[in-house]
A and B are shown apart, each in its own frame.
Chain A
């Protein structure tokens, strides 16, 4: 190598440094595409959210009047105006108003919660849902993916039995597993409480006694969601591992004497996990739907139970608010999955080139 070559390399860098620079470059095109997709999905969900309650028979005020008879017709009209149900506005005006209110963070008032703002009602329910469903989903994904990688690695061993078992559990509805868990562990054995987030008479606070109580109440619903959703992750990861383990670079890695542990996690699992992340992004809506029912089964005071109660009581503002929060949570989970994918798979970042 001549001196000029060396200086060239030092000033301009080799192919490797170019790749490193490309990695640091922000993939605007990729980000723009994803952002457009999420905005479109959000708009679609919000529009569904706007139209569905307006297609219903009978409005929330009629329902409210049936329960509170002493309200005068004038008060009923005022209530309609307050809830945005006054009929003299055109559908289009209502639609524009609806987006205006959403942008201001105004979700209306909840009839079933003494005309409290919906955002306040949701704020009390949200931490429970995020804690329960967030933790459970994370646990299921991690256990399923790590387990699936291991089962795939130990192919042909007795561990293969795990696949049909977990698949069986994922074909049974969430609520039935929850009900069975209650009948076995709460009623039969009396180990764990039946429902609710914390015991009657417990004062919510940041102390050890309360936290232990919450953990005790959360164990069964958490375990239910994990058991019901584990199968998909495990099967997906194991199937992908079987495909990846046949690749030549795995054989090469082993032939050059790389420790098996490194081959398994850094070479095979890292590549096999990519479709997993994509399917996580796409199935999160489905999982959240099932998890909502688990909240109902365990009378867990989260957004899902709130949504069901609001639907039964025809409390439309709260119903719309609950649906909005669920959609937002699903979209956020999708964005996170996208980011993780971009970190793990350099190809998505290099689509620019």
Chain B
């Protein structure tokens, strides 16, 4: 009802406030790095100088050169092209897994938070079971069942196993929202359940959803590259973990062929940094103390005060005046 009276500008500002958590330097830097990787994944064909599987017997294990910017593998494949094509698997699995995990997490978490009594407890116990059971061993066992598991299947398994944390955080936040005045007022107005959850509560859960989403993407990328590295995911679908699998199997780490193992690892790290920055940004938006604490402490230091000793400093000052 109430939204029908909103003007266009009010709507725009409402939409804008939903993205306020991304409007700080850390979040923007993180998003920029992520976008760069997504673009690389989309335009892999145009960007890669070679096919990732193009064998060249005359250029094996070459260090970086003008022709092969990141050198070549034991078969003469171009490492740069492999890294570029490898971005696809990582981006697809990361996004798909997080979508699946967050869909389950939002449904279970918000329901568990909104309901009360045994239903809430049962849903919460379910989420905790998925949190406690170690995922990687299950993934190893499941992935080994398939000779050639497609990426969507890996994403589905990662997502089905990885929603527990998001559901838990969302439940806690929903429980605290449930008793706030505006939700109670909506209830008394006779608003329907889906409207209370969708219009009243969900906007207040956006920051937590975003932060859980980022966490899911991180976990999915770590899971995918780890499984690819140990070789339970087919070696023909290139991603950064697969490259490391090949490099490790061919002894690149022992023979110090750094151009082969360093780039894929640094790419995993770079995407990890982007996601961590994004998470820092959201965290500081949700809990402004995290940002202000450091700023306040530095401001106090400028005035010659010690932040850990704020109270005693004042007393020391008093005693010194008494002595005079």
User: For chain B, which range describes its interface: under 10, 10 to 19, 20 to 34, or 35 or more residues?
Assistant: 35 or more
Q: Which chain B residue has the least Cβ–Cβ distance from A330? A: B134
Q: Which residues of B contact A284 (CB under 8 A)?
A: 132
Given the known inter-chain contacts A168-B272, A330-B132, please indicate yes or no for A319 contacting B308, CB distance below 8 A.
no
* Contact yes or no, A52 B141, CB < 8 A: yes
Q: Which residues of A contact B275 (CB under 8 A)?
A: 171
Residue interface bits A61-76, CB-to-B below 8 A is 1, else 0: 0000000000000000
Q: Which residues of B contact A44 (CB under 8 A)?
A: 129, 133
Q: Which of B136, B138, B219, B294 contacts A52 (CB 8 A)?
A: B138
Q: Which chain A residue has the least Cβ–Cβ distance from B227? A: A293
Residue interface bits A300-323, CB-to-B below 8 A is 1, else 0: 000000011001101000010011
* Contact yes or no, A243 B289, CB < 8 A: yes
* Contact yes or no, B295 A289, CB < 8 A: no
Tell me the complex Cα distance, A141–B93, Å: 30
Tell me the complex Cα distance, A235–B168, Å: 19
Q: Say how far B42's CB is from chain A's closest CB, in angstroms.
A: 23
Q: Which residues of A contact B307 (CB under 8 A)?
A: 155-156
Q: Which chain B residue has the least Cβ–Cβ distance from A188? A: B256
Is A182 in contact with chain B by the CB < 8 A criterion? yes
Q: Say how far B26's CB is from chain A's closest CB, in angstroms.
A: 10
* Contact yes or no, B298 A289, CB < 8 A: no
* Contact yes or no, A251 B311, CB < 8 A: yes
B residues 281-324 touching A (CB-CB < 8 Å): 283, 287, 289-290, 293-298, 300-301, 307-312, 315
Tell me the complex Cα distance, A47–B129, Å: 13
Given the known inter-chain contacts A41-B133, A286-B135, please indicate yes or no for A168 contacting B269, CB distance below 8 A.
yes
Q: Which residues of A contact B131 (CB under 8 A)?
A: 282, 285
B residues 111-154 touching A (CB-CB < 8 Å): 125, 128-129, 131-138, 140-142, 144-145
Q: Which chain A residue has the least Cβ–Cβ distance from B141? A: A52
Is A341 in contact with chain B by the CB < 8 A criterion? no
Stretch at the interface among A1-9, A87-95, A103-111, A173-181: A173-181
Q: Say how far A274's CB is from chain B's closest CB, in angstroms.
A: 14
Q: Which residues of A contact B311 (CB under 8 A)?
A: 251, 254-255
Q: Which residues of A contact B294 (CB under 8 A)?
A: 155-156, 160
Count A-side interface residues using an 8 Å CB cutoff.
68
* Contact yes or no, A55 B145, CB < 8 A: yes
Q: Say how far B208's CB is from chain A's closest CB, in angstroms.
A: 15
* Contact yes or no, A307 B140, CB < 8 A: yes
* Contact yes or no, A187 B141, CB < 8 A: no
Tell me the complex Cα distance, A187–B258, Å: 12
Is A149 in contact with chain B by the CB < 8 A criterion? no
Q: Which residues of B contact A293 (CB under 8 A)?
A: 136, 226, 229-230
* Contact yes or no, A155 B133, CB < 8 A: no
* Contact yes or no, A282 B132, CB < 8 A: yes
Given the known inter-chain contacts A179-B253, A179-B261, please indicate yes or no for A323 contacting B138, CB distance below 8 A.
yes
Given the known inter-chain contacts A182-B253, A243-B289, A254-B312, please indicate yes or no for A282 contacting B297, CB distance below 8 A.
no
Q: Which chain A residue has the least Cβ–Cβ distance from B277? A: A164
Q: Which residues in B have some Cβ–Cβ distance to A below 8 Å?
A: 125, 128-129, 131-138, 140-142, 144-145, 164-165, 168, 218-219, 222, 225-226, 229-230, 232, 241, 244, 248, 253-254, 256, 258, 261, 265, 268-269, 272-273, 275-276, 280, 283, 287, 289-290, 293-298, 300-301, 307-312, 315
